[in-house]
């Protein structure tokens, strides 16, 4: 759940950065709308962490800064590149949530409810990015993103 919480911290940073950079009013509105849902995710995962007697990752400020920087860079390239980055991120997050759902014990209904709702929302965010004209992320960048998310996942388990 701490990993999921870190992911939502990054989602906040990403969407906020991209909304700040774009000059397209309509896109900004769309990004802020998604950011609002990510805010809900952040609150739900934080609540689950508390209920489970766990703390959030100590590295959250670092993750936030990193995601903010990457979001800014992607958005500076172009709106469509920025959306491509959203799509790829949301896809990777959905896959992670899917595997987490398979690992979660059947009796932990509150966690399962949070993770499945988030998975549905992230899938919708990815589809919305495609509808808005997302350009596919180039394969090397996709590999880098996968590595970054592995590092994030592995460290957030412990720190
Ligand atoms: Fe989310
Ligand atoms: Fe999302």
Give 78 Cα–ligand 1 centroid separation in angstroms. 23
pLDDT in tens, 145-154: 888 888 888 8
DSSP letter at 132 equals: T
For the cut 90, the answer to whether the pLDDT of residue 156 exceeds it is no
Question: Could you tell me the CA-to-CA distances from 60 to 6, 13, 38, 42 in Å, in that order?
Answer: 6, 11, 15, 12
Q: Which ligand is nearest to the CA of 97?
A: 1
For the cut 90, the answer to whether the pLDDT of residue 141 exceeds it is no
Give 45 Cα–ligand 1 centroid separation in angstroms. 9
Q: Superfamily for 2-158? A: Ferritin, core subunit, four-helix bundle (1.20.1260.10)
Give 111 Cα–ligand 2 centroid separation in angstroms. 17
Q: Which residues crowd ion ligand 2, with CB under 5 Å?
A: 90, 122, 125
In our burial notation (b when 16+ CB lie closer than 10 A, e otherwise), range 39-64 reads eebbebbbebbeeeeeebbebbeebb
Reported pTM:
0.88
pLDDT in tens, 2-36: 999 999 999 999 999 999 999 999 999 989 998 99
Domain boundaries, the chain: 2-158
């Amino acid at each position: 759940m701490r990993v999921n919480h870190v992911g939502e911290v990054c989602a906040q940073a990403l969407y906020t950065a991209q909304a700040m950079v774009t000059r397209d009013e309509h896109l900004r509105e769309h990004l802020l709308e998604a950011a609002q849902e990510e805010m809900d995710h952040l609150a739900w995962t934080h609540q689950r962490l508390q209920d489970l007697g766990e703390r959030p990752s100590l590295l959250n400020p670092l993750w936030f800064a990193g995601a903010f920087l990457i979001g800014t860079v992607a958005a500076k390239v172009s709106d469509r590149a920025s959306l491509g980055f959203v799509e790829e991120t949301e896809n990777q997050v959905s896959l992670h949530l899917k595997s987490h759902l398979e690992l979660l014990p059947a009796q932990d209904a509150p966690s399962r409810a949070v993770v499945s709702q988030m998975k549905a929302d992230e899938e919708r965010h990815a589809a919305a990015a495609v509808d808005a004209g997302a350009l596919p992320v180039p394969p090397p960048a996709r590999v880098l993103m996968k590595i970054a998310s592995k590092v994030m996942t592995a460290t957030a388990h412990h720190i």
